[in-house]
């Protein structure tokens, strides 16, 4: 699905939050046969954040949402909708969006969850844009939040080294003067769905995979290196822009090698790529909004900049979005 954004929708607020606990590669090496050098060379990851027992996707997401609302200068009661992207919800139901709404004092504001794994934030942005463009909402909170540490088999070296916990959030609003969101490209290939998966209650009873992340790393890597570039080019085309127009490239933070490969293929120099995978690992639906918030607070993104975002992961799903940044500098 490829779409240009005809309606004017601006990003007016952004925030993120990660747990306090830092887990280094050296700590993981005490649990499985690996080393800091081995992990860093293959993934670019040096450390990740791990949720405390009192943390959940709702608590992390609510704190990111509070910070986004604060930066937007609005009250939670001004929201019309909360869309939460998460593959690690607090419950099957109620929706984590409802729990976040309650925590931030959003009253009876509508909310629902969206599950698209590491592509979730891009899908949620598209949902929020669609609701605003259709006139069903004026101001929407989009949250990407995960506690993937609860989905890991800590004896599986192929997965436990990759993931971390965290949340990011943005506030979108109809704006007749500013054209923020410019174009989307979304897709999914169910033929590769089980290359990256977590079994749940509705899964066929004759399979006993456990509630853990299972991944065919080499095949997912092949998929990611192809789709990141293809999707990015398609969303830029939808927006009527080219790679030369991109000021900041914010890809999903899965693996530094995937990020570097995509940048080379797209012809983007290092200065135009933002990455924090070394400090947070793969935070799934949280990774892109956490990056956006850090890049904005560091002055790497400012008004008028063209930002290209791309996500990929379980589904096998992918999605990209082109945005003209509309949030003033911090």
Beta strands in the chain (DSSP E): 2-4, 9-17, 21-24, 47-50, 81-85, 110-114, 139-147, 165-174, 181-188, 196-198, 213-215, 248-251, 306-313, 317-324
To 5 degrees, how large is the angle CA 160–CA 165–CA 171? Answer: 145
Rounded Cα distance between 69 and 71, Å, is 5
5 part of the active site? no
Classify 329 as helix, strand or coil: coil
Classify 112 as helix, strand or coil: strand
Nearest in space to 14 (alpha carbons), one of 247, 185, 180, 179: 180
- Residue 41, H or E segment: helix 36-43
Nearest in space to 198 (alpha carbons), one of 146, 125, 256, 253: 146
Rounded Cα distance between 112 and 121, Å, is 13
From 5, 118, 160, 321, the catalytic residue: 118
276 part of the active site? no
From 160, 255, 282, 321, the catalytic residue: 282
In the numeric block, which tokens belong to residue 299?
A: 């002055």
Rounded Cα distance between 52 and 260, Å, is 32
Q: Are 173 and 238 in contact (CB under 8 A)?
A: no
261 part of the active site? no
From 5, 17, 252, 291, the catalytic residue: 252
Strands 81-85 and 110-114: parallel
Q: Which residues are catalytic?
A: 118, 252, 282
């Amino acid at each position: 699905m490829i779409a240009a954004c005809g309606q004017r929708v601006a990003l007016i607020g952004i925030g993120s939050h990660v747990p306090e606990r830092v887990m280094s590669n050296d700590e993981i090496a005490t649990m499985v046969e690996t080393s800091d050098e081995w992990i860093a060379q293959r993934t670019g990851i040096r450390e990740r954040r791990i949720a405390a027992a009192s943390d959940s996707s709702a608590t992390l997401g609510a704190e990111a949402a509070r910070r986004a609302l604060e930066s937007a200068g609005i009250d939670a009661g001004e929201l019309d909708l909360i869309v939460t992207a998460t593959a690690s919800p607090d419950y099957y139901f109620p929706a984590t969006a409802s729990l976040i709404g309650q925590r931030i004092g959003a009253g009876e504001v509508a909310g629902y969850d969206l599950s698209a794994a590491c592509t979730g934030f891009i899908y949620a942005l598209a949902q929020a844009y669609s609701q605003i463009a259709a006139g069903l909402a004026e101001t929407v909170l989009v949250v990407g939040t995960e506690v993937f540490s609860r989905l890991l088999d800590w004896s599986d070296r192929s997965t436990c080294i990759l993931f971390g916990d965290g949340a990011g959030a943005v506030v979108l609003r109809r704006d007749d003067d500013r054209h923020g969101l410019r174009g989307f490209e979304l897709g999914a290939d169910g033929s590769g769905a089980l290359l990256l998966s977590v079994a749940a209650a509705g899964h066929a009873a004759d399979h006993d995979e456990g509630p853990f992340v299972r991944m065919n790393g080499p095949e997912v890597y092949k998929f990611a290196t192809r789709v990141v570039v293809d999707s990015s080019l398609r969303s830029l085309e939808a927006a009527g822009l080219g790679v030369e127009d991109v000021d900041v490239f914010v890809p999903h933070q899965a693996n530094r090698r995937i990020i570097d490969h995509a940048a080379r293929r797209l012809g983007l120099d290092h200065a135009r790529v933002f990455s924090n995978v070394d400090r947070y690992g793969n935070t799934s639906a949280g990774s892109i909004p956490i990056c956006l918030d850090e890049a904005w607070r560091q002055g790497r993104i400012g008004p008028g900049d063209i930002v290209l975002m791309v996500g990929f992961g379980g589904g096998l799903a992918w999605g990209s979005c082109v945005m003209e940044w509309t949030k003033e500098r911090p």
